[in-house]
Amino acid sequence: MIRVVSMRRFFGRKFFRDIFNKLIGKDKKLKIGFYGHPNSGKTTLANRMTNDWIGKPIGLVSEIPHETRRVYRQEHVTLKHNGVELDFDIIDTPGIATKIDYKNFLKFGLSEIEAKERAKEATKGIIEAIKWLDDITGVLLVIDATQDPLTQANITIIGNLEARKIPFLIVANKIDLPEASAERISSVFPQHTVVPISALHGEHTDDLYRAMVKGFK
């Protein structure tokens, strides 16, 4: 007996759903890159986020610049806000700079050999961070709100995100410090959303999660 099986049954519902999702781009994995200067608090924020949503940190933090010298990835972080879920991968990148002077690391007690090694690793990390711009689908640009935000690294990152049409939010971090000014960041980049937070103390992270659901969903 010849059985006629319908196309739908033959391929199954999942097959058609996958094709449909591909067509509308829904299957594209959301990869959110954490970009910014060294010591702006990218890894502190990534740790805050992974602790809040999956209960474990992603990387080490320290006061010595260029602590993160390679890209760290945490897959499947699901953030929930007002009943809306945002499932994404965190791509924590090394801080972007145009120069690295190993002598700056000596001030933190590193030996000359350690400082030079750190500088060499940092240059590789910056190249890796720039390469990741080709593969990320959203960005949190983390800016230390106690510092001048108008730097070449920030200008280059924003310029590249705009040119590549990658959605991004500016995170004004370290607002717990008295010299911090999120307004200074907003005045320099008035056309972009700036979310003031303290990643270290978890202040206003709810505002960031709300903005992420709105901006990246």
Query: Which residues in this chain contact another protein in the complex, by CB under 8 A?
Result: 96-102, 116, 119-120, 123-124, 126-127, 130-131, 133, 150, 152-153, 155-156, 159-160, 162-163
Apex CA 207: angle with CA 77 and CA 171, to 5°? Answer: 80
* Closer residue to another protein, CB minimum distance, 32 or 133: 133
Distance of CA 78 to the CA centre of its chain: 15
Q: How far is CA 38 from the centre of its chain?
A: 13
Tell me whether residue 7 or residue 163 sits nearer to another protein (CB atom): 163
Q: Least distance in Å: CB of 157 to another protein?
A: 8
User: Beta partners for 172?
Assistant: 143, 196
CB closer to another protein out of 56 and 99? 99
Give whichever of 75 and 162 is closer to another protein, judged by the CB atom. 162
Please answer whether residues 146 and 179 qualify as being in contact, where contact means their C-beta atoms are separated by less than 8 angstroms: yes
80 or 131: CB nearest another protein = 131
Distance in Å, CB of 7 to another protein, minimum: 45
Beta bridge partners of 84: 81
Q: Any idea what the Cα angle at residue 135 is, between residues 17 and 185, rounded to 5°?
A: 115
- Residue type at 217 in one-letter notation: K
Provide, rounded to whole angstroms, the least separation between the CB of residue 110 and another protein: 13
Shortest separation between residue 129's beta carbon and another protein, angstroms: 10
Least distance from another protein to the Cβ atom of residue 3, Å: 57
Sign of CA dihedral 54, 59, 64, 69: negative
